[in-house]
Structure 1
Amino acid sequence: MFERCHSPHEVAHLLRHRYGLPVQLLAGRPMITTGSVLGALVMPPELGRKVLATLDRTYATPVVADPGEHTWTFLVTQPSPANSVDLSIRRCLTGHQVTVIPAGRYVLLPSTDSQLGWHWAGEPAPGVLRMPPRSAVINAVHRVTAMRAPAA
């Protein structure tokens, strides 16, 4: 996918136009900022594979893997209005090494097809960006880890 990109600007342009990601460049790296448009959850890849497999196939869930696949970052929609995750749920998630990324944080995006760099573990579908709701990913973590689901 990135083989025709010769600069960080071309990578950012590709990510913006192919997937609709709100990409910015910081120090020559394509990234997004969490906030009103999207959020992120980070987890170990073993858990991430199971979570990705249980998510509704309505979404081609964007998941970014770091070099060496130490973590997977799920890109999700932010709840509207933005609200924080209940402290007891955060504690359960933390017990499974899942982190809900707060607003205003940078998430690096793929810039190579190689597993040696930031790459897609779950590639978004081309076109308008469609991400799962944050709650859907948290509920998938609950199902996979047999954690008690949050009360409605």
Structure 2
Amino acid sequence: MFESCHSPHEIAHLLRRRFGLPVQLLAGRPMITTGSVIGALVMPPYLGGEVLGALDPELQAPVVADPGNRTWTFLVTPPSLGKPVDTAVRSQLAAHQVTVVPGGRFVLLPTTDSTLGWHWAAEPAPGTLRLPPRTAVIEAIHRVIALHAPTS
């Protein structure tokens, strides 16, 4: 996808045009800022892969993987009316290495197709940006966690 890009400006333009992402450049890096347009959830890739499989196929999330695939960042809709995630839910998610990214934080975007750099673990659909609701992804995380919970 990035083979025709020769600069960060070209990458940012491609991400805006192809996916409708509100890309900014900061220090030559394409990124988005979480807030009123986009939210984010960060988790380990082993959990992220299962969460992608647990999501309704119509709600597939764009997912950014860091170099080396240590974390996956799900791009989601921001909370409605600024409603924060309940503290107990945040604690349960944190116990599984899931972070709800607060507003005003930067999320780096892919710049390469190689796993040696920031890349898509799940590429967004071309066209108008469609993100799953944050609540739907959190519910999928809970379903996946419940599948692995020890039974008594």
TM-score exceeds 0.5: yes
Normalized per residue, which structure has more helix?
A: 2
The equivalences for 1:96-115 within 5 A come to 96-115=96-115
Write the deviation string for residues 76-107 of structure 1: whole angstroms up to 9, x where unpaired: 00122111100000000000000000000000
Paired with 1:52 and 1:67, the residues of 2 have a C-alpha distance of: 19
Structure 2: state its 5+ residue gaps: 148-152
Change (3 A) 1:60 1:142: closer
Counterpart in 2 of 1:150? none
8 Å Cα contact 2:52/2:60 also seen in 1? no
1:81 match: secondary structure? helix
Moved more, 70-79 or 57-66: 57-66
The equivalences for 1:1-152 within 5 A come to 1-146=1-146
Q: Which amino acid aligns with 2:96?
A: H
Q: How much identity, in percent, do the aligned residues show?
A: 71
1:78 match: secondary structure? coil
Paired with 2:35 and 2:53, the residues of 1 have a C-alpha distance of: 26
Q: Which amino acid aligns with 1:122?
A: A
1:144 match: secondary structure? helix
8 Å Cα contact 2:16/2:23 also seen in 1? yes
8 Å Cα contact 1:5/1:11 also seen in 2? yes
1:73 match: secondary structure? strand
CA drift of 1:75 comes to 0.2
2:59 match: secondary structure? coil
CA drift of 1:60 comes to 3.6
CA drift of 1:56 comes to 1.1
Q: Which runs of 4+ in 1 moved over 4 A?
A: none
Q: Which amino acid aligns with 1:41?
A: L
Structure 1: state its 5+ residue gaps: 148-152
8 Å Cα contact 1:38/1:76 also seen in 2? yes
Paired with 1:78 and 1:113, the residues of 2 have a C-alpha distance of: 27
8 Å Cα contact 1:60/1:123 also seen in 2? no
CA drift of 1:59 comes to 3.1
Paired with 1:60 and 1:22, the residues of 2 have a C-alpha distance of: 19
